[in-house]
Each structure stands twice: as C-alpha cells, then as structure tokens.
Structure 1
C-alpha cells in the first residue's frame, strides 16, 4: 500500500488532508511510527536508529512541531531513511516543513481531530495485513499458472475472481531479472510495490506478480498494454532500479496467449529472451521473444551437446586458431557475414586496413577449406556464430 492507496480509504480521506509532497504519493507504507516521545527533543536523539524505511511517521507532540529547527532536522534524517510520509495534527505544520516536503516529494498530511490516532492506527494496520495476505495468495496463484503440470483454466479464473482480479483474453508473462547480488536484501517488498504502482497508473489495478530471489515474474494483459507502452514502463522500472538501488536489470516478455494453460510457454519464452540478451546491444534492456529471430529457434533446442558440436564442426578450427595465435579471425569472419559478405564494409566496421582484411579472409578460407560466397556455407557459418553467441551468453549467466 502506498500513500495514494491510503488516501483512497474513505475514513482516511475524510480525516486527513494532503498538504505537501504530492509528487511522492507513490511512496510505499510498510508500517506506522509514532515520533512523539520526549526523547525526540534531546540533542543527542537519532531517529534514524529507530526506523528502517517505509514508515508512515506520525507527530502530534506540539513541543516538537513548534520547534522548527529540531523538527526539520528530524524530518531530513527520516527522509534519508526513505520514510513513506509524515502526518501532523491540524494547525501544527510550519511553512518551512511544507516547503521541504514539496522540494523532496515527501507526502505531508494534516490530521484532523475527528480522526483519532487509535482509529488511524487500526485502519492502516488492518489494510497492510490484508494486503500482505492478498499478495501471498496472488503469489500462489501465479506459481500454479507457470509451474503446475495440469491446470484448469476455469478453476484459475474462479480463484482469480476471489482475489479481486480477473484473467481474460490474451496475456504475456514478463520476467524481470536483476543482476546477482544482495544489495536489495529486505527491499524487495518496496520494489514490488513500486512495480505495482507503475502498472496501476495504466489501469492494471491488481497485478499477478511473483518474486523469487532476484527474479520478478508478472502476468500482463495484452489488451491493456501495447508493445511500446509495455516497453516504456519496463524501461522506466529498470532505470529506477539502477538509479535507486544501483543494480542492473533486464526484462524479457513472452508471447501473448489466450489460454491460461499456455502461459507457462510465455514464461519460458520470457526466460529465453533474457538468456540471449548478452548477444544483443548492451544498451537494450527490454527483450520481446517475438523479436528474437533465429534465436527463438535456437532456444527451443535443449540439447547443449548438439549445439556445441554444431559450432565445433563449422568454426571450431577457427576458434582454436584464435586461441593459439591470439588472433581475431572469428571476429573478422562474423563481421564479414554480418555485412552481407562485403569485405570493405566489414573492414570499416573493424577499423582495419583493407589489405589486413584481405589477408585475414584468405587465412580464414584456408583454415575452413570452404568458399564463403556459397549460400549454403554462408547460412551454416551464420548459424554457427549465432549458436556460439547464445551458448556464451548462457555461460555468462550461470
């Protein structure tokens, strides 16, 4: 639940008013923290030692709110710990605090005397517990869809209805993969809430999402999200993860399927899209399975030995020559093939002289014992390099 969700609760909406920091309504609420103790007034008090991030902080002690310097110092410290928002009694909010909250996108709420603290606490805590319970049930439902061998579409739709969501028409499975590390640790919950918030802005009120270690799995209805819109949302999420957590991430999108029982295929396609991502542009972060081209065929071959033998049979001698002589023959031949067998264009791409290109190509032909202008040879070599790149990307991720 974020601050916007909080204000959508009728009793909260009628008893609390947003004063500042409206741009930060996406901030997620983890729990409530009452910062009203007399200890807060002492000079050596460090509020950062008592909060962990995501708290909705409530301050009603006039002795504290009337002290602008102390109040601002405490709020700055809490904001550095990424609290969700600040709630202060009516008539106790200073212009200085309002300005700070606006500048830092920290939601600041004014609490009326009609909404008692005990009622506010009960409402928020109940909403958080219900959200946690609902999230766990959604996790189990999505896990059943992508992992169960035998599922009944009608049963899944009924279970989804009980959870307040629906699964209809065509859907994609999206996989969000984070680089292996432990930087997030306890922040996965906040990240999931941010992702839900991003999709909620475009009409997806309740999203089926499952998080497993460093991988997020989502079910996305294709009728709500065009390819461009989905790509833009995922790019924004990935950029947020990079800037906020310092972690690189990539997203793979499987094909859209009408039947729920086929969504496990979309899940595998999304995984395969990420597997080949190392073979694509490093700047690209979002990969659609439909755009994989020849890779969509390669990823269907589960026999790794067969793939490795194909590479070895066609360009194995070239690979070995590069290893022994620290050469660039594989790189040269791949550039030659990528430029439709145009040696001049390949030389320009590699930043080498044409004579150097000619020398390397003669050496390549001698090692491979083949004529490169033969269409069948071209296709075989092209396929060999595609498989080589795919297998290398698999090893990089293992």
Structure 2
C-alpha cells in the first residue's frame, strides 16, 4: 500500500498545496480516480475506500453548496484524500476545510499538473511498490531457505535479468534507528522520476529489504572492480542518496547466479556488526571475532539459551525497575572495563560491580563465573546480532 505522504514526494506533486487534513497524510491510497460531473450525478457509486480523488469541482461552479454535498458523500465512502485543480475555485469555504480537518482527509490545491499524468504517476508508483515487495520476498526466500544453485540463479534473474556474472552486495540501514523505515521507500520512489531513468544501469539493482536498502552491483569476469566503500559512495552519489545517513555492510565478491544468497547474507551480517561497533561501514572480511559468532546464530540450542537468559534479565529489570541488561550492553561495549561502563551510565563503579554480581547470581546455571566476561561477550553479541 502507498501512503499519501509517499506520493507527495513525486515530482508531479511538487506544487500541490496542502490546505487541510494534515493529520491524515499517513492514509493509504489504493487507487486514483477523477470526480467530475457524470460521477456526481451517478451517486458516487464508482468510488471506494482508499481512493484518492482528483477534481476540478466543475459540477459546483454555479452552485457552491454542491461542494459540501460532494465532500459528505466522499467521506462516507472513506476515500483517502482529495486534490482540487484550481480552475473554478482558487480557495475553498471554511466549513469545507473544517470538514477535512475533522475527518483527517488531506485536502490539496494544485494548478499546473494534468489529471491524467497524476493518475499515471501514482499507478506507476503502485506497480513499483508491488515490485519492491516481490523482490523483498525473493531476498527472504534466498536467505531463509536451503535453495539449490539453480533456484538461486533463477531468483537472481527475476530480480534483474541483466545481472552480470559477479556481484558485490551493499546493505544500508539508517544509522539513526529513529528514522522511519518508510524513508527507504521514499528514496526508491524518487529514483523513478530522475533524469537518469533512461540511463543503462542494468548492472545495478536497488531493492528494499526490511528497514534497509540493498544494492547489488554486478560485473563481468573481465572487469576490474574495487570492492570497497568508495564503490558504494559512487553508486549512492549517482542516485542522489546521502551515504552519511547509513550504516553500510559490504559483502565479499561472489558469483551472482550461484552465490547470491551468500553475498546477501554477508552484507546483512556486516551491517549488523557495523551498528554494534558504531561504525559507518564494515566489510564482511573484517568482522574479526564476529565471523565466528555469526554461525552460532543458526544453532537453535544456543539461541534458545540466549533467549532464556535475556528473559531472566528482562523479568528482573521489570520487577525491580533495574538496568541489568543495559549495564551488560555497556559492559561489553567498554571491553569489560568497569570504570568506563560506570562513566557511560553515570553510575558509581560499585553500582556496576553490584549489578554484575546480580547477573552472576541470576545466570549461574548458564555461565561459568571464572570466564564471566567471555561468556557475557558472546551471549550479549548474539543477542545484538539477533535483535538489530
């Protein structure tokens, strides 16, 4: 589904002016339709929930009261928004604006765009959104199942039939986790309306995956390719996407049509560790000890044990309004140094020692106290690799 605020990022909507109903900008659009004289007389039966309505209000040019009548019927139909071309009305009566505000129906005025072009632009965007979802499902399928090499090659061709023999995958997620994941979709939407639409970029694909953006860069056996952050920067600069907003995980180079699943997984893991280590980018080849921890994520018995220990800590924190889990995260981040952990949490070192002893007591059945930090390092990082 598309939200109105996503559609408003398209170039054709640049000069639309929102005059009421701003609290409804997250409404979803399922279709775009035109309200003109024939549909007004036909009782509005053609309109459905989620329709975004475009109109010139031609039917009301000689009788302004018909505006209110039409709005009442459209709101009854649970339409998502209304855009009025200012041919006959430059402004709308206050009672209409209040009606839009009260019902949280975004109401826009525009003057220059053609209605048919608006419909085409939104329909293209709807199709693009469906394509994003399809490709995202392909990625889920590639990394969550055991696929044959033939199945992987088939999925690669579906994502982009023009892919070349070799691939490097970049996975980008917002460094600031408070940024809405929908921003990724907004970036992708804008790409369809840039001047490079006709340029041959068949060796590159940009695909939404979860809260991030996945970039596949493919090249032939004879081409020299520098597998580094500078390649990613060049791609993002070309697409006018600001790199500094993201953590970036970079895979090794692989064969596209037989190892795409490996390339994807490497970029995702590198991105996870990138965020854990608070870096802007990280190569899969540079994961160090994390390259040994990552395979443990697939061991069900180990993950079950991690879940049990996390739940013990969470239940204690909730019951006693404590911060044991937060303390452990800081403890590992600061390489087991109590003084640095205390400084980060604005606590006395003895408070940190008390909390760590409480953790030892609670988790005694699962941890060897002699190697407490090593166990905590492993189990907290497995927790972070899972939740990030």
What TM-score, normalized to structure 1? 0.48
Of structures 1 and 2, the larger Rg is shown by 1
